[in-house]
Amino acid sequence: MALRSRFGLRTQLLALFAGLAAAFLAPVYFTGASAARALLHAGRDDAARALGRAVAAHVEEVARHGDRAAIQRALSLHSGPGGVLAGRVTDHQGVLLAETGRSAADTAPTVREHTRNAILNGHRVVLLDLPLRTVEVHLALDAEVDEHRADPVARLLALLAALFAAGLAFFTWVLLGRFFVRPLDALVGNAEKIAAGARTFASIPTGTAETETLAASLRTMSLSLFAKEKALQDKVRELGEATLRLSETSSALVSSEHYAGVGKLAAGMAHEIGNPIAALLGLQELVLSGDLTPEEQLDFVARMHKETTRIHGVLRDLLDYARSGGNDGSLASSGGYAAAGSCDAVVVVDDLRKLLAPQRNFKDITLDIALPPSMIVPLPAPRLLQVLLNLAMNAADAMNAADDGPAHRTDRAPHVIHLLGTAGESEVRLSVCDTGPGVPPSLRTKIFEPFVTTKEVGAGTGLGLAVCKGIVEAAGGRLELDGDYADGGAFVLTFPRRR
């Protein structure tokens, strides 16, 4: 996560400006102070030269009318700090006429005035060589300067620089706030309001061209986001309505498939019930004829009771399966429940066996059941029974159709439907395998798609496997075709095991 700066943009820009101002004004200050000291030195040098010319004129005036002693007195009169530190007077032949100071100025006579700076006994001096009409004067004039006299000028320069920088910083602060920071703050406020749920973009203060371009871009982006959000809300609402309709359609489809199974079971049971009823009618006619002895009548009544009980059991199993099509997840004839939304597959398979036993399609089919003592699957018992019944009846239809096909068999050996179950550490598996012709290779990749069927036109809707797959996947499981099974068709149900 990036760290957020404690300082705003205006403060950071002002700090950058202050650094640049310091980098620019510091050389100006030192240059000004150096210039002030240079001017001070130049002024002192000019004063020293002017003093030297005055002293030379005085000495020449004395030399015209006086002797050497007078010249010496005139030269010594101007000797001392701030004046002549060293000097000598000679005639044009170089004969020394007067001298002052601890060290004479070391300069050669010239035909014109010559000045230069030097250091004499630790003092800064101006050397002045003046060839006059009667004498030659060589002077070392005191040019020492108290550089602290330039401090007021330096301080004035520093004060002016500071005032200039402060004024410039103030105007920079104001201008940044007016034309840059305020528009940015307004943009931030707009963004926060939009994030909080506002759906309008407030106007911002006039700023620079860049901030106005940014504001226009953000306004355009916000309006686009508002439009997309509204469109998305409409799509979500439509999706919710479509999902509701799909859920209702799915529930109706599951129920319709369930009751289609009930119809198939009822049709298959008609023959099973018809035979006992015909026997009952015959026994009843014999009893009503009155030609039977009491012992024969009792025997016939017992037979009638046995046939009635048989019919009652068949109808009870059919009615129990029909009632299990509701949404309460209950199964009237079994109680093998581990928790809400789960069941014991062993109990469900036993109910499946009872439902299939009276069916004519299963007369030549053997149910081979191999399950562990208990196998809990995360699917309500009615739904698991519906899935297994659909797979078993599809297997029976496929095997019977193969017997009635062009290669009609005469021996008609019984077929087998294997119901196999395994319970691993992480999942449980139920397999429904048959010894029929299997699923054609051309349909294996789309066998679970709606309206795909291997049956003849009018014999099936092609929705059974699609509904079964939806039921299993809704419980977090998988329904798959076992492509490696070579003895017929095989469908595998896999569920995660509950801890």
Structural domains for the chain: 9-153 (3.30.450), 253-405+414-496 (3.30.565.10)
Render each residue's pLDDT in the chain as its tens digit; 499 residues: 444 456 666 677 777 777 777 777 777 767 777 777 777 778 878 888 888 888 888 888 888 877 888 888 888 888 877 788 888 888 888 888 888 875 544 433 333 344 455 555 566 788 888 888 888 888 888 777 766 666 776 777 777 777 877 777 777 777 777 777 777 777 777 777 777 777 776 677 776 677 777 777 777 887 788 888 888 888 888 888 887 877 777 666 666 665 565 565 565 555 556 556 766 676 677 677 777 788 877 877 777 776 677 666 666 656 655 555 544 443 333 333 334 588 999 999 998 888 787 777 788 888 999 999 989 999 988 889 888 988 988 888 888 887 765 444 455 557 899 999 998 888 999 999 998 888 888 888 888 887 677 666 545 556 778 888 888 888 889 999 998 888 888 999 999 987 6
Give 36-69 as a DSSP string: HHHHHHHHHHHHHHHHHHHHHHHHHHHHHHS-HH
Query: Which pLDDT value is given to residue 257?
Result: 60
Per-residue tokens: 172: 């920079």
Handedness of CA 239, 329, 265, 367 (dihedral sign): positive
pLDDT at position 330 is 36
Beta bridge partners of 430: 421, 493
What is d(CA 354, CA 388) in angstroms, rounded to the nearest whole number?
13
Q: Which residues contact 157 (CB under 8 A, 6 or more apart)?
A: 28, 29, 32, 33, 36
Tell me the residue type at 105: A
Q: Report pLDDT for 337.
A: 33
Q: Give residue for tokens 């009751």.
A: 259
Within 10 angstroms of residue 137's Cβ, the number of other Cβ atoms is 28
Q: How far apart are CA 31 and CA 49, in angstroms?
A: 27
Residue 492, pLDDT score: 94
The pLDDT of residue 338: 39
| Cβ neighbours around 134 below 10 Å, total | 14
What backbone phi and psi angles, to 5 degrees, belong to 365?
Answer: -120, 130
The closest alpha carbon to 187, from 171, 211, 208, belongs to 211
Distance, in Å, from the CA atom of 100 to the CA atom of 120, rounded to the nearest integer, reads 14
- The pLDDT of residue 111 is 31
Which phi and psi (to 5°) does residue 7 adopt?
-110, 145
pLDDT given for residue 2 in this prediction: 44
Provide φ and ψ at 437, rounded to 5°.
Answer: -75, -15
Separation of alpha carbons 397 and 394, rounded Å: 5
Q: Is the pTM of this model over 0.85?
A: no
Residue-level pLDDT at 334:
37
